[in-house]
Amino acid sequence: MTPGESFPLAPLCTLGVGGPARFFADATDEATVHEAWAWARRRGIPLWILGGGSNLVVADAGVAGMVLRVGLRGISTFPSGEAVEVTAAAGEPWDAFVELVVERGWQGLECLSGIPGLVGATPIQNVGAYGQEVSDTVVAVRVLDRRSDEVVTLAPDACGFAYRNSVFKSRVPDRYVVLGVTYRLRPGGAPTARNPELRRHLEARGIGTPTLTDVRASVLAIRRAKSMVLDPDDENRRSCGSFFVNPVVTPDDLRRIEGVAADPAMPRWPEPDGRTKLSAAWLIEHAGFRRGDAAGPVGLSTRHALAVVAHEGASAADVVAFARRVRAQVEARFGVRLVPEPVFWGFGRLEDGLPADSGTGG
């Protein structure tokens, strides 16, 4: 393996900003993953794992160490009682994988249609949308454990799944390299259509008893209307999708926020633990922002207040500065501190997930 040097990362990320990787390599098999890890370890440098780049902000100074783009491919299936277990390699494109299982009539992932990125990222982020999360169906995650230098398979309980979070993302983010994921799906199962927005879209199409294909089509249409699918002709295409996660608040905080908002129509969804999930997009818009508002070359999507868009000439520092402004204004208005959804490479200290520095380097 001979890594490239000073390799540009911005073209590999949907946001399209950021500096180069000191070293860069592609891995299309597990042997190369092992080799890259050994190469980086011998030199005492960090190994960064890149997938589809759809949930990533790279600092303008780039990243030290090696970036390894994991492109492992392959899908296998085997029956498991009344279910089917489907294993996909980490480099499989996520939406193509969802399309495949929907076409085969396997229920469990249909609401996750249209999400950019690769299979390997889905357990890290515990990807979810429109009433489903991958943790609902994940039964195994095959990983390279960098502590033991062994390939192991983690059961769901070991993954620490939480709302848009997992052990891979927050607890030990530098320990595991995801190589493949196994999902348990239901052949012939009825689609998940609990989400109110999804139900309204299906009803508007005149569909009372939707199929998996119907649900996928509606999810794609909803996401496309919000610029939440990758489209080279979309003015909002350079984004990470949802930049902030929906906050989950305690009953006391909810009462306080309701008093501040003074709007009974404020969206809210009860959680099983007694807390309540709020809409980050609603909070942003009611903190004084409008869709399309911008500060220089960075602003909100014209279609969805939760997406931060980088326009021509934008830098990673611009993106972080704008995100800080949004968060500060929401916190000043509602007393809620939003937490970003993307991961940040090459920055210094993080404050509740958002860089405290500009990442311009030196």
Is residue 3 a contact partner of residue 66, using CB atoms and an 8 Å limit?
yes
Is residue 334 a contact partner of residue 257, using CB atoms and an 8 Å limit?
yes
Question: How many other C-beta atoms are found inside a 10 Å radius of the C-beta of residue 97?
Answer: 21
Q: Report CA Rg, the chain.
A: 20
- Surface-to-core class of residue 206, CB atoms within 10 Å of its CB (0-12 exposed, 13-18 middle, 19+ buried): exposed
Question: Cα dihedral angle (245, 249, 254, 259), rounded to 10 degrees?
Answer: -50
DSSP single-letter state for residue 64: E
Catalytic pick among 30, 99, 133, 341: 341
Is residue 320 a contact partner of residue 354, using CB atoms and an 8 Å limit?
yes
Task: Output the CA–CA distances (angstroms, integers) from residue 341 to 133, 165, 235, 306, 352, in the order listed.
Answer: 15, 9, 21, 10, 11
Catalytic pick among 242, 301, 315, 327: 242
Long-range contacts (CB closer than 8 Å, 24 or more residues apart) made by 220-223: 220/113, 220/114, 222/130, 222/197, 222/198, 223/113, 223/114, 223/115, 223/129
197 as an active site residue: the answer is no
341 as an active site residue: the answer is yes
242 as an active site residue: the answer is yes
Catalytic pick among 69, 164, 238, 291: 164
Task: Output the CA–CA distances (angstroms, integers) from residue 258 to 177, 251, 266, 289, in the order listed.
Answer: 42, 10, 8, 19
Cα 12 from chain centroid? 15
Task: Output the CA–CA distances (angstroms, integers) from residue 212 to 111, 191, 241, 361, in the order listed.
Answer: 9, 5, 24, 48
In degrees, rounded to 5, the angle at the alpha carbon of residue 9 between the alpha carbons of residues 7 and 15 is: 165
Is residue 311 a contact partner of residue 305, using CB atoms and an 8 Å limit?
no
Helix (H) or strand (E) holding 65: strand 63-70
Largest separation between any pair of C-alpha atoms in the chain:
61
Active site residues: 164, 242, 341
